[in-house]
Amino acid sequence: MRANPLQIGPRTTAWLKRALTIAVVIAVSAYVIKEARRIDWAEVAEAARSYGPTALTAALLLSLPGQLSCACLDLIGRHATRHELSIPRVMLISYTGYFFSLNLGALVGGLAFRYHLYAPYGLSALRVGQIIALSVLTNWSGYVLVAGAVLAYQPPELLANWGPGTAVLRGIGFLLIGLAAAYFALCAARGGTRLRWRNSDLLLPTLGIATAQVALSITNWASIGAVLTWLIPGDTGWLEIMPVLMISAIAGIWSHVPGGLGVTEVVFLNMLGHRVAVGELLAAVLIFRVIYYLLPFLISLCCYLYLQPSARKLPAP
């Protein structure tokens, strides 16, 4: 009698994914804690105190274009699905969803939380799914192009045994540029048609909308890079910081640690610690975290407290 092949059900698969995620978080957290014990925190605190009000205000102003672009992400979905929620309310939802997911992603369930924000307005699950899908696509479309450009033009020199060489990184950069070009070509040729994505229909953006998507995303990533360039002392320029930022973003997502807390800092220390004093570099990255993570999160929390009760007063779109 022939034995039945081993079959893994969806519940077992979900359990395995959850266990793997927990294992990754534990391993990454242990590594971050180990690295943190090597830091002279008195030196970090002294470096942080050296930033005066003028420098901090300038860093905050540099972050504003990026924050505004995050508030505009869901406007792409509003245009595509033609729902009737007002532009200001959509921007509040977009801002709240982005910075909640950025800071608490794994804790609140990024996609589930975005559905929760739209639930009171009576939009169908299909519409909300399209909005979220386009928002995610918008956010990462510019990442692909910026990461490709900076890696192809000036790949970072990684420490020994800490990743691929510059030739491989440059090749990855050209590959990412090719993906961005393919997306533009697809939108130019098939824009306006519907595609199946995760059991839902997704309206493929037109070339004009794709251009707007990439512009919003590039504004965000460029703004983040400008804040870090301003804060990090020395002669480290924007083109040298951007590849580190690109790598730290992926590392933070892969780690599943909320906000990439500690992961971003470790990546910057490993990749730029040979050029900038460790205390000064870590102080700059931590101040950046306050400006781009913590402050917008507090604002988004206020937005959330406004959105939930006010939504009940609005008619369904």
Return the HEC string of the chain. CCCCCCCCCHHHHHHHHHHHHHHHHHHHHHHHHHHHCCCCHHHHHHHHHCCCHHHHHHHHHHHHHHHHHHHCHHHHHHHHHCCCCCHHHHHHHHHHHHHHHHHHHHHHCHHHHHHHHHHHHCCCHHHHHHHHHHHHHHHHHHHHHHHHHHHHHCCCCCCCCCCCCHHHHHHHHHHHHHHHHHHHHHHHHHCCCEEEECCEEEECCCHHHHHHHHHHHHHHHHHHHHHHHHHCCCCCCHHHHHHHHHHHHHHHHHHCCHHHCCHHHHHHHHHHCCCCCHHHHHHHHHHHHHHHHHHHHHHHHHHHHHHHHHHCCCCCC
Q: Report the pLDDT value the prediction gives residue 1, as an integer from 0 to 100.
A: 46
Residues in the chain: 317
What stretches in the chain show pLDDT beneath 70?
1-11, 13-14, 16-18, 20-21, 24-25, 31, 106-110, 158-163, 196-201, 311-317
The answer to whether 101 touches 73, Cβ cutoff 8 Å, is no
Token pair 């004009």 is found at 208
Residue type, position 257, single letter: V
Q: Two tokens at 73?
A: 């992400």
Considering only CA atoms, which of 131, 106, 137, 105 is closest in space to residue 118? Answer: 131
pLDDT number for residue 4: 53
Q: Using alpha carbons, select from 84, 160, 90, 145 the residue that is nearest to residue 118.
A: 90
Q: Are 269 and 281 in contact (CB under 8 A)?
A: yes
Which residues are 201's β-sheet partners?
A: 196
pLDDT of residue 81: 86
| Residue 35: per-residue pLDDT | 72
* 299 neighbors 250 (Cβ within 8 angstroms): no
Q: Token pair of 2, please?
A: 């022939």
Q: Residue 213 has what pLDDT?
A: 94
Q: How far, CA to CA in Å, does 12 sit from each of 7, 119, 125, 170, 254? A: 10, 29, 26, 40, 21
| pTM for the full predicted model | 0.87
Question: Are the CB atoms for 113 and 242 separated by under 8 Å?
Answer: no
Closest Cα partner for 282 from 31, 46, 25? 46
- Angstrom distance (rounded) from CA 47 to CA 129: 45
Residue partners of 244: CB distance under 8 A and separation at least 6: 156, 267, 268, 271, 272
What's the pLDDT at 52? 93
Please return the burial class of 186, using the count of CB atoms within 10 Å of its CB with bins 0-12, 13-18 and 19+.
middle
